[in-house]
Amino acid sequence: METEIDDIHPLFYGAPSNTSFKKLRKRIIRQTREAVESYGMVERGARWMVCLSGGKDSYTLLAALIELKWRGLLPVELLAVNLDQGQPGFPATVLPAFLEKMGVEHRIEYQDTYSIVMDKVPEGNTFCALCSRLRRGNLYRIAREEGCSAVVLGHHRDDALETFFMNLFHGGKLAAMPGKLLNDQGDLFVLRPLINVAEADCDKFAAAMQYPIIPCDLCGSQDGLQRQQIKRLLDGWEQNSPGRRNVIFKALTNGNPSHLLDPDMFDFNSLQRIAPTNPDSPKNP
């Protein structure tokens, strides 16, 4: 991509013209393109379902993908989809109005999963597991109905880091969020083009673009979630050692199976020792 070009997709006219915002936008676009290329996300002519929640991350995702497509660097069709899960007070008109104003192809789907979650989850327990399972099932269904080959999510670098430490501390496994995976049925890709992008950059971008942010009242209303605890831990590390998040993220892209303890990842039984050479033995002529 020609990083010196300062033009922008007409959909984003009115964006700040200052140098810091231009650098921010170019960094997000570059990192998104790098993730798309690194993880082989593109199937030429494919149709992607871009999940739009109304949060800062999904707005940033949509903007980055539309700009890459406009520049001819993303040869796929894009469909923005919002799943209205029936949370009380959800501003149902915000996203349709935004997408129609911007001329973005979209679908708004209403499914009251909120009532199911509130009915099934005991008081005092967290909603996330059931909520995400119901949301995922509906998104997969919509993707199939729309002829999409990929469900595209707005998870960023910090989401991957938090997931890694949640799995490490609570799940007893080394796992984060991959940039690309295949669903269990094997018919849909799940893509995360923002996986290299810092959450702070999504915050700055969405604020500068003045997107109509919709908070998650369901999950956001709960205190003491494990992910929130991990976020605070990472915040503390970053404050004491700036750049710590980048270092940890780099480690996730630089695995060394032979230096871990999983015999399923590395065949320790096949390691062969080279017999030492007898210094007194006659040398070959």
155, 192 in Cβ contact below 8 A? Answer: yes
283 lies in some domain: no
Residue 63's CATH number: 3.40.50.620
27, 201 in Cβ contact below 8 A? Answer: yes
Task: Give the per-residue pLDDT at 6.
Answer: 53
- Grouping H, G, I as helix, E, B as strand and the rest as coil, residue 242 is coil
Task: Give the per-residue pLDDT at 3.
Answer: 41
Task: Give the per-residue pLDDT at 282.
Answer: 60
pTM: 0.87
CA distance 21 to 2: 17
Q: What pLDDT tens digit does each residue of the chain (285 aa) get?
A: 444 445 667 677 778 889 999 999 999 999 999 999 999 999 988 999 999 999 999 999 999 999 999 999 999 999 999 998 888 888 889 999 999 998 999 999 998 877 887 777 777 666 677 777 888 889 999 999 999 999 999 999 999 999 999 999 999 999 999 999 999 999 999 999 999 999 999 999 999 999 999 986 545 445 457 888 999 999 999 999 999 999 999 999 999 999 999 999 999 999 999 888 776 666 555
193 lies in some domain: yes
196 lies in some domain: yes
5 lies in some domain: no
Task: Give the per-residue pLDDT at 271.
Answer: 94
Give Cα separations from 98 to 34, 73, 125 (angstroms): 28, 25, 34
30 lies in some domain: yes
83 lies in some domain: yes
Task: Give the per-residue pLDDT at 116.
Answer: 80
4 lies in some domain: no
Six token digits for residue 230: 């991990």
Number of structural domains, the chain?
Answer: 1
278 lies in some domain: no
The residues near 203 (Cβ < 8 Å, ≥ 6 apart) are 56
Burial of 56 per CB tally in 10 Å (0-12, 13-18, 19+): buried
Q: Measure CA of the first residue to CA of the last residue in the chain; give whole Å.
A: 59
Q: Which domain does 157 fall in, by range? A: 10-270
